[in-house]
Amino acid sequence: MTTTVFTVPGMTCGHCKQAVTTKVGKISGVSAVDIDLDTKKVTVTSSEPLSWSELVSAVDEAGFEAVAN
Per-position b or e across 33-65, b if 16+ CB within 10 A of its CB: bebeeeebebebebeeebeeeebeebbeebebe
The total number of residues shown for the chain amounts to: 69
pLDDT (0 to 100) of residue 30: 98
pLDDT (0 to 100) of residue 69: 87
- Domain span at residue 53? 2-68
Query: Residue 15: which CATH number?
Result: 3.30.70.100
Tens-digit pLDDT string for the chain (69 aa): 999 999 999 999 999 999 999 999 999 999 999 999 999 999 999 999 999 999 999 999 999 999 998
pLDDT (0 to 100) of residue 47: 97
- Structural domain count of the chain: 1
pLDDT (0 to 100) of residue 62: 98
43: left (phi over 0), alpha (psi -120 to 50) or beta: beta
